[in-house]
Structure 1
Amino acid sequence: MSEQQTPGSRPHHVVVVGAGMAGVQTAVALREQGFAGPVTLIGAEPHQPYDRPPLSKAVLLGKAEDSAFDVDFEELDVTLRLGVEVTGLRAAAHELDTERGPVGYDALVLATGAEPVVLPGSQGVPGVHLLRTLDDAARLRPVLEHSHDVVVVGAGWIGAEFTTAARAAGCAVTVVEAADHPLAGTLPAEVAAPMSAWYAESGADLLTGARVDRVEPGAVHLTDGREIPAGAVVVGIGARPATRWLAGSGIALGPDGSVTADATLRTSLPDVYAVGDCASFPSARYGERLLVHHWDNALQGPRTAATALVEGVAPAYDPVPYFWSEQFGRFVQYAGHHTGSDTLLWRGAPTDPAWTVCWLREGVLVAVLAVGRPRDLAQGRKLVDAGARIDPVRAADPSVPLKTAAS
């Protein structure tokens, strides 16, 4: 058993739970910032740690076998324990429970990511797939190779990216979305409306306002009585923080299941930090707690946690959230965070090949969505970070560089 750490003290042994982007970057950041003690990285999957975005693109289409991180863990002197499921945390003893016995720690970093939401009644039904892991992608490859008829449940980011890959492979695709437009949990209807047309352009059928009643081998049944033939079903209806194993541990969780970290990503236990998809953090920039399920957050957050572990203190973590998606031949990028009460401003028409949407809060740019306009995104991201006020007339003119709209 390791000795109790106090805030500001230097841990001897750091254990990181989760070997995805957030976990790997935590280990790397610890070494980059001079931490010389033992670092153990525990991953539930048996594979070498890998990046997830390529799973819905190159790996799924068979253009790459895997997407392993280009990290020399031996050179970094990081101990990998792969294929090990962590089942519990006993904070008083400073020990993790795993299927292979207890693991002691001085400081702990939670980087367990998120787990996909399962479609009720679909578990165990042959031909039903998720797309979250390397093994998921491997199981889906034959589906694309044999051009099966596919039903995709959910028109979110993963649904759009998988549909893009499946159409490229020659599959007939029907997308079933319960809401009245794609990306309903992320974008307002008027912004998502042009994205609906992308499905039809690709040759996929998009059914909105459609709910699944049940899934059977070879078919998806909707609540309105329709039956859709399905050689395979891919479910992409969201994800939740993978934190169920923390029940009873003393670590505070939010109503969304996230670990409620503070501004330096420390949890309710002083020697435990949380990074990436499993953690929410208070944003002074936006005046609310944010839970960000995107790659950039898993890249940036670990640097703050590592600084806090090595130095005892760290600057507040308050990034401008950023993500991108490649779908239907378009590069979609988003930076910031908006709410339904923010003012929406278009740069270009939604019927144009490329367009941008800005969100203003009392004249200040708080978020930008760019479709095929990477310069808008790059400039907008900097303006959001600076808390810049925007001239709405200039910002609405797509021929004017967005950075010149700052007032």
Structure 2
Amino acid sequence: MSSSDSARRTVIVGAGMAGVQTAVSLREQGWGGAITLLGEEPHAPYDRPPLSKGVTTAAFDVDFAGLDVDLQLGRQATALSPARRTVTAADGEAIPYDHLVIATGAQPVTLPGAETAHALRTLDDAVALRPVLEAKHDIVIVGAGWIGAEFATAARQAGCAVTVVEAADRPLAGALPAEIGERMRGWYAEAGVDLRTGTTVAAVEPGAVVLADGTRLPAGAVVVGVGARPATGWLAGSGVALDPGDRSVLADDRLRTSVPRVYAVGDCASFPSARYGARLLIHHWDNALQGPRTAAVNLLGGDEPYDPVPYFWSEQFGRFVQYAGHLSPADTVLWRGDPDGPSWSVCWLRDGALTALLAVGRPRDLAQGRKLIERGARLDPALAADPAVPLRAAAR
């Protein structure tokens, strides 16, 4: 790298997994210039998944000083000026950049009129919920998605009485087909969780949640887990193209934005997938881990496409659930094992090729299936449906 290159600065906005991994990847890939990493929270960067998977915290094991990364905590970005190549912080300082990486993640969707309800996104959220669990309060969780199920699991393990309220008619309605989500309904009952589907919250009052049908649920605490939206409001007027629906940064397949020298990674960015023929917005840990490497390579002059097989995992009600790929309603569903038993998998096939897989207590299926999806492998349906046959042996 030339001396002029070493004088340049990459600014990364967001100090979550995606932002931290971008800084690490830039150094690993040979970036010799300055790196400034802006974190909105005052805490040292930490891993978010454990916040719901047991309400624990885990700081990243990264030597920022050793990597010569200027980590600035408590610095919220409020505006971007591509013409000046500056990011404006909340205190008014304009921070210059030569390259910029947007990694501001996502913000939890709030419940109108529920200002006292807890979210579960930040370290402060987790800290606020610990005494709730220790006091064994009656807890009402709004949302039966992945976050809601994981926190319900932690709350039951802590000895709390738990009610989960879901507007849809089943758990995970926004993530999985009805025939899958309905199989998970019984998990709540087994764990002693009162699951109420097809109903909405009308009001949150001191000590109670009032449902749309007038039912009053005792609530020492209310936790809202109804999804998250990309944290991109600070980009208004910058020229960075956003999706008009979900407000994600519209990155291309190299994770470049519509503005030169500006990249986007993690929960705040969507990208086109040639593998699935769709634009994907992935709010999962693995995407925040993989994307930064590709962004770093391309920022340094490479030409590497980003088209991963999406992956995530969840622990809920004593079950280890993993998912890889991206399904569509037109895909053929193939079951492996008894869905009423302790371990089973579901495969989705498109024109005979494996496109997605959900594994409950079958990590080997997931590991093999993920590789088959990456290869675009076609499966023999009869062999794939036999849970005694290794999934890789079903590949044609």
TM-score tier by shorter-chain length is: over 0.9
1:326 equivalent in structure 2:
315
The answer to whether 1:122 aligns with 2:118 is no
* Count of paired positions: 391
TM-score with structure 1 setting the length: 0.94
1:84 equivalent in structure 2:
75
Please point out which of 161, 169, 176 is paired with 1:180: 169
- How far is the alpha carbon of 1:57 from its aligned partner? 3.1
- Whether the 8 Å CA contact 2:253–2:305 is kept in 1: the answer is yes
1:68 equivalent in structure 2:
59
The residue type equivalent to 1:374 in the other structure is: P
- Whether the 8 Å CA contact 2:251–2:258 is kept in 1: the answer is yes
1:271-318 CA distance string (max 9 Å, x none):
1000000000010000010000000000000000000111x1221100
Please point out which of 368, 372, 376 is paired with 1:387: 376
Please point out which of 156, 163, 171 is paired with 2:152: 163
Please point out which of 99, 102, 117 is paired with 2:94: 102
Please point out which of 290, 313, 317 is paired with 1:300: 290
- Whether the 8 Å CA contact 1:174–1:204 is kept in 2: the answer is yes
2:39 equivalent in structure 1:
43
- Whether the 8 Å CA contact 2:333–2:347 is kept in 1: the answer is yes
Q: For 1:76, what is the secondary structure of its paired residue?
A: coil
In 2, Cα distance between the equivalents of 1:157 and 1:174? 15
The answer to whether 1:195 aligns with 2:184 is yes
Runs of 4+ in structure 1 deviating by more than 4 angstroms, as ranges, are: none
- How far is the alpha carbon of 1:22 from its aligned partner? 0.1
- Whether the 8 Å CA contact 1:86–1:96 is kept in 2: the answer is yes
In 1, Cα distance between the equivalents of 2:303 and 2:233? 28
- How far is the alpha carbon of 1:215 from its aligned partner? 1.0
1:397 equivalent in structure 2:
386
Q: Structure 1: state its 5+ residue gaps.
A: none
Please point out which of 275, 278, 283 is paired with 1:285: 275
- Whether the 8 Å CA contact 2:6–2:34 is kept in 1: the answer is no
2:266 equivalent in structure 1:
276
In 1, Cα distance between the equivalents of 2:374 and 2:387? 21
The answer to whether 1:370 aligns with 2:366 is no
The answer to whether 1:24 aligns with 2:15 is no
User: What is the aligned-residue identity percentage?
Assistant: 68
- How far is the alpha carbon of 1:214 from its aligned partner? 1.2
Q: For 1:75, what is the secondary structure of its paired residue?
A: coil
1:331-361 CA distance string (max 9 Å, x none):
1000000011111110011111100000001
- How far is the alpha carbon of 1:12 from its aligned partner? 1.4
1:348-407 CA distance string (max 9 Å, x none):
111111000000011110000000000000000000000011111111110110001111
- Whether the 8 Å CA contact 1:10–1:309 is kept in 2: the answer is no
Q: Structure 2: state its 5+ residue gaps.
A: none
TM-score with structure 2 setting the length: 0.97
1:134 equivalent in structure 2:
123
The residue type equivalent to 1:267 in the other structure is: T
Q: For 1:129, what is the secondary structure of its paired residue?
A: coil
The residue type equivalent to 1:121 in the other structure is: G
- Whether the 8 Å CA contact 2:6–2:33 is kept in 1: the answer is no
- Whether the 8 Å CA contact 1:11–1:309 is kept in 2: the answer is no
1:5-49 CA distance string (max 9 Å, x none):
9xxx99810000000000000000000011110000000000000
In 2, Cα distance between the equivalents of 1:11 and 1:193? 57
1:207-246 CA distance string (max 9 Å, x none):
0101111111111111111111100000000001000111
**Residues 328-343 of structure 1: pairs in structure 2 closer than 5 A:** 328-343=317-332
The answer to whether 1:14 aligns with 2:4 is no
In 2, Cα distance between the equivalents of 1:267 and 1:11? 23
The residue type equivalent to 2:11 in the other structure is: V
In 1, Cα distance between the equivalents of 2:218 and 2:328? 38
- How far is the alpha carbon of 1:102 from its aligned partner? 1.2
**Residues 201-212 of structure 1: pairs in structure 2 closer than 5 A:** 201-212=190-201
In 2, Cα distance between the equivalents of 1:15 and 1:213? 43
Q: What RMSD in Å do the two structures reach over aligned CA positions?
A: 1.3
- How far is the alpha carbon of 1:151 from its aligned partner? 0.1
- How far is the alpha carbon of 1:184 from its aligned partner? 0.4
The answer to whether 1:265 aligns with 2:252 is no
Greater RCO (Cα-Cα under 8 Å, separation 6 or more): 1
2:339 equivalent in structure 1:
350
In 2, Cα distance between the equivalents of 1:314 and 1:118? 39
Q: For 1:89, what is the secondary structure of its paired residue?
A: strand
In 2, Cα distance between the equivalents of 1:216 and 1:122? 8
The residue type equivalent to 1:262 in the other structure is: D
- Whether the 8 Å CA contact 2:6–2:32 is kept in 1: the answer is no
In 1, Cα distance between the equivalents of 2:61 and 2:274? 34
- Whether the 8 Å CA contact 2:266–2:287 is kept in 1: the answer is yes
The residue type equivalent to 1:134 in the other structure is: L
The residue type equivalent to 1:252 in the other structure is: A
- Whether the 8 Å CA contact 2:7–2:34 is kept in 1: the answer is no
1:51-83 CA distance string (max 9 Å, x none):
00111234x2xxx5x311000000000001101
In 2, Cα distance between the equivalents of 1:146 and 1:11? 54
